[in-house]
Each structure stands twice: as structure tokens, then as C-alpha cells.
Amino acid sequence: MSNRTRIFSGMQPSGEAHLGNYLGALRQWVDHQDDHDCYFCIVDQHALTGGHEPSELPRRVFDLAVSFLAVGLDPERSTIFVQSDVQEHTELAWLLNAVTPVGDLERMTQYKDKSSRLESIPAGLLNYPILQAADILLYRAERVPVGEDQLQHLELAREIARKWNHRFGEVFPEPRPILSGVGRILGLDGDAKMSKSLDNTVRILADSDEIWSRVRTAVTDPQRVRRDDPGRPEVCNVFSLHKHFTDPARIPDIADQCRAGTRGCVDCKRILADSIDEHFAPIRERARKFTERPGRVREILEAGAERARTEAARTMHEVRERMGLDWRRAAIATGPL
């Protein structure tokens, strides 16, 4: 694996993954394992900036780990671990503060959006992109699978690497994005990005009844009021989801029947719900087996953290030395007083 391109990506632990996580990230992560040296991280320390509930966080980490494994992330081909198990993440984040201008952080779109809704802004919200840069640079990742909404943060990580290398010497590659090509995944409301916090998505491990109860609420073409009204599949969010889950051979007929007004939206949603159910059935079964063996999940995360710590230690040894934090070298050079 050493001569493969290294990639890093992480996901916040909001519990088990949902359709947006799967379409926007997890499905691509599974494919990357064949061609890259992969580090996939549950970034629990990032979750601390969002007003988390401490008693719930451990369970959310475990549930997301089960989702990782159930969709096909393989601990034999990828390093899968929890961010807080590797202390070097926060150490490097602190050191990267030395080269990161406050103005660059204040220009981040996500910071401006989130801080505008807060009366008191936590410093962690401002520094969030520095920890994100540390996550990536700690493993000297060359590529980062990201959605378009994270491109600004990744560009800042590239700039931080560039400034640090200029000041202290070449250590970090400037990570480049791997875009999923999926684009923005709208939630069932047809308006906002798919998100568990907005309750506009479907859990990937939901059973048949839950999938249908969620999909039947999805917003469709607003101009189609009656069942026999001609529809516009190109603007219907339900139809856009068919492209990800429904048999491709059926999609042209679904589109034609929508335009002709011969298939109602409820029927279209039923087909989508059944397609989602069928797609995730084997994933649910794998998740069930992992959930019944929590010790095995812990073993995988602990082994992944051990591998990650080994790599992180190599990076931080060089970083500390370059930044003048190895006082022992001076003691050896000058000898005893």
C-alpha cells in the first residue's frame, strides 16, 4: 500500500449513516479502497462545536462505525479509526495556528453562516477548519474525497500546508480534492441539503416500513397537483433519487409516465421506497451482525487507531523538530553546563 496515493476523509458521528452520507461519501469511499491507501476517520472532536450531548456521543460513534463496516469499508484494506483516539490531531491543529491568519478563517462560508445564528460564537467554530486541515495533513494525504460544500475548507488546508512548508521546510503535500460527481443531495423536503438534523433523510439501516413512511413524505414536482397532471421529472427530487437506487432499465419508463400523467407521485414514491429497501437489505444484514458483536467493532477501531498513531507519530516527530520544539537537541549540542 505504500506506493498508492494516500487519501483521508472523515465524517461526524451523528449516529448511523443516512442516504446523504451514503450517496455523497460512503459509496465512493468503498470504491477508493481498491486503488488508494485509505484513512477513514470518525471525527468526534469536530462534533464538539455543535452543542453535542456527551452521554449520546459514544453511541453515535459506535453506530457510525457499524455503518462504515456494513457498507463495505474493510479494515484489511483501510485504516478505520476514531479521531480522539489519536492525540496528534489536536496537537497538530494547535501548531498549524501559527501559520493560519484569522482573516482566512473568518472568510469561510460555513463559519459565516453558523456564527450569524449565534449570540456567543465559540472559538472552536472559527478554528474548525484548522483541525480539519490537521486531520488531513497529519497523514500527509495527497487526495481528499469531498463534497462541493467542503472545497473551500480543503483549499484552506492547501494554503495552510503551503505556508507551513514555506516557513519550516517541506513536510506536507498540498492535498487535492476527489469530487464524488454526485453533486448536492437534496433532502426529502426538496429544499435543503439532506441532513439528519433537518429530519429530511432516511437511515440506511431503516426497515421497509420506516423507509416507506419517510419516502411517502417526500416533496415532488410542485406543479403536479392531480394524479393525471403532466409531471416534470427533471425538477422532481424523488425522480433524482430514482437515479441512484432504481434499476436503470426502469427509469426511462418512469420519466415518460410522469410526463404523460399516467403514473401518480404516490406510485413513483412506492417504487423508490422498494428500490431503497432492496439496495440496503444486504447492508442491514451486515450491520446486524456487527451490532451483535460490539467487541469486534471495538477491535477494528482500536487496531485502526494503532496504525493511525504510528503514522501520526512519524509526522509529528518531524513537525516538532522543524518548529524547534525538540529541546533535547540543544542539550545534546551544548553538553552539560
Catalytic residue among 193, 243, 269, 289: 193
Q: Is 193 tagged catalytic?
A: yes
pLDDT of residue 273: 95
pLDDT value of position 1: 43
Catalytic residue, chosen from 163, 196, 243, 289, is 196
**Is residue 45 within 8 Å of 131, Cβ to Cβ?**
yes
Burial 63-73 (b: 16+ CB within 10 A, else e): bbbbbbbbbbb
CATH 3.40.50.620 fits 5-185+294-334, yes or no: yes
- pLDDT block averages, 10 residues each, the chain of length 337: 85 92 95 96 92 90 98 97 98 97 93 88 93 98 91 96 97 94 82 85 95 92 74 84 92 85 85 96 97 98 98 97 86 60
Distance CA 204, CA 59 (A): 17
DSSP string, 101-158: -HHHHHT-HHHHHHHTT-SS--HHHHHHHHHHHHHHHTTT-SEEEE-GGGHHHHHHHH
Give the CATH H-level superfamily of domain 208-289: Tyrosyl-Transfer RNA Synthetase (1.10.240.10)
| pLDDT computed for residue 334 by the predictor | 59
State the pLDDT at residue 336.
Answer: 59
Contact 315, 91 (CB under 8 A): no
Catalytic residue among 114, 163, 243, 289: 114
Domain 208-289 in the same topology as domain 5-185+294-334: no
* CB-side neighbour CA atoms (13 Å) of 273: 20
Please report, for the chain, the start and end positions of each structural domain, with discontinuous segments joined by +: 5-185+294-334, 208-289
- In contact, 134 and 89? CB cutoff 8 Å: yes
| Residue-level pLDDT at 271 | 93
Q: Please give the Cα distance from 22 to 1 (Å, whole number).
A: 25
